Amino acid sequence: MAFTVSDAAAACGGISYGPEAEAARAWRCDSREVREGDGFAAIRGAKTDGHLYIKQAAEQGACVVLAEREGLEGAGIRPADFPGVSFIVTERRTEEALALAASEYLRRVAPKTIAITGSVGKTTTRELTAAALAQRYKVHSAVRSFNTIIGCALTVLSMAEETEALVLELGTNHFGEIAEMVKYFPPETVIITEVAPAHLEGFGSVCGVLRAKLEICGSAKLKKIIFNCDNALLREAMSHNYDNVIKIGVGREAGAGILIEECRVALSDGGPSTSVRCREAGREITLSAPLFGEQHAYNMCFALAAAESCGVSAQETARGFDAMAQLGGRGLCRRTARGVWVIDEAYNANPASMRAAIRNARAAAESLGLRKCAALGGMRELGGSAPEWHREILEAAAGFDSVLLLGDEWKECGAPLADNFTLCSSLDELVSRALEESAKGGLILVKGSNSYGLKKAVAALTEE
């Protein structure tokens, strides 16, 4: 066994009980998701305590449990009561113990490590980067948006010992979060996709967002920074800092290391396609991926630069992109039996991503001569500037034939609603009205903060 329960216990200063077993495996923090052979990390959350669900996790097949001694005592659980389960018992908080164990495992496997952060485009860039690297390496990345310290630890512990390249996604809503992640999981290559209004309740301003994102550059192993050089804040920060590492700017403006010269977006019976022609060191490169939206030109070029930093050629990157599948909740385009296009952007929203989604949907509908509708949820965590940003989005969507709105943010922003806007009182009402719009044909964009549950609207529109 390459990395055992005993090894993990030593890494986090804990004690192991029960049979020796491999610690590197799929781990869960939600007992309902546990499958046979998984590890279960008993985490104390704001609403409940994972220690209360250890028995359920064991019954569902967990064979390794990470828990706090105090939590076990409070739940009345003894490792001896589960003879077939290996326990790692720690005096630390489970989150810290999990990160320490994962950090030690990462040190032992020692893959090429790339980490991605930014206000938008993190997950898409992660998937593009993994697809490119997979043309040459055994790659591991998160199966979903595991972009917290717990999520990164779960991702690292689930990678195979033979992993040669690891791609991590780092999100944040408060200062110090990314700094802590790169302390445990230091990348050699980092990507900063964008700095835009997001999580302003925690950061106060876009300058605060910049400060938080730049924490990724504190990695002890940092060798290369890939960044959006069309963003003035990022461009300024890079021009005066980090002179000891390689910096590659991606953008449409002169001076970019990878210059985006042209981007084309198409929507056909085969689904969406975004193609980009870019120039790097005097050579022209053309890439295409099953994505929807001009913003993905940046994401594709970020991934190109990251793959090249690991020795993957542009030709190999292009093959990796061609083999990708669409990403659910992030511009996934589906055509219903009635011929209506549904653009699924239901995963999340901030002003930058909302503007891009509206712009892309409008362009696609108009190019195909289609009626256009949008079902929009409010944007959360924007602090005191929320009304201003919501008013801006209402203006951006003014040209749609119909716009369905969900959330108090739209009502509280103080803007009068034109006749083509409808403020829905509940998700069920929005779903009902969206189905009515679907009967009229055309294209329907669905986007909003994840907490509004707009995936239910996508399901209702596409289940036929």
pLDDT digits (tens, 9 = 90+) for 74-119: 999 999 999 999 999 999 999 999 999 999 999 999 999 999 999 9
pLDDT for the residue numbered 109? 97
Residue 53 has pLDDT above 60, yes or no: yes
pLDDT for the residue numbered 464? 58
What H or E segment, with its residue span, contains residue 422?
strand 421-424
How many CA atoms lie less than 13 Å away from 279 in the CB half-sphere? 11
pLDDT for the residue numbered 329? 63
pLDDT for the residue numbered 270? 79
Can you tell me the mean pLDDT for 243-262? 96
- d(C-alpha 221, C-alpha 410), whole Å: 44
What H or E segment, with its residue span, contains residue 309?
helix 296-309
Fold topology of 110-322: UDP-N-acetylmuramoyl-L-alanine:D-glutamate ligase (3.40.1190)
Residues with Cβ within 8 Å of residue 285, at least 6 apart in sequence = 277, 278, 279, 304, 314, 318
Of 358 and 201, the structure prediction assigns the larger pLDDT to: 358
In Å, what is the CA distance from 370 to each residue of 214, 245, 263, 306, 363?
Answer: 42, 48, 22, 38, 10
In Å, what is the CA distance from 265 to each residue of 82, 274, 294, 308?
Answer: 56, 4, 7, 25
Phi, psi values for residue 108, rounded to 5°: -75, -45
Read off the tokens for 229: 């050089």
- d(C-alpha 187, C-alpha 178), whole Å: 12
Can you tell me the mean pLDDT for 160-184? 96
Residue 63 has pLDDT above 90, yes or no: yes
How far apart, in Å, do the first and last CA atoms of the chain sit?
Answer: 49
Can you tell me the mean pLDDT for 128-149? 93
Residue 186 has pLDDT above 70, yes or no: yes
Q: Are 443 and 372 in contact (CB under 8 A)?
A: yes
Can you tell me the mean pLDDT for 33-50? 94
pLDDT for the residue numbered 348? 83
Return the axis-axis angle of helices 149-157 and 94-109, rounded to nearest 10°.
40
Domain ranges (residues) in the chain? 5-94, 110-322, 332-462
pLDDT for the residue numbered 182? 98
Can you tell me the mean pLDDT for 313-331? 87
Residue 327 has pLDDT above 80, yes or no: no
pLDDT for the residue numbered 1? 55
Residues with Cβ within 8 Å of residue 209, at least 6 apart in sequence = 119, 195, 196, 197, 198, 199, 200, 203
For the domain bounded by 332-462, which CATH number is listed? 3.90.190.20
pLDDT for the residue numbered 214? 97
pLDDT for the residue numbered 420? 95
Architecture in CATH of 5-94: 3-Layer(aba) Sandwich (3.40)
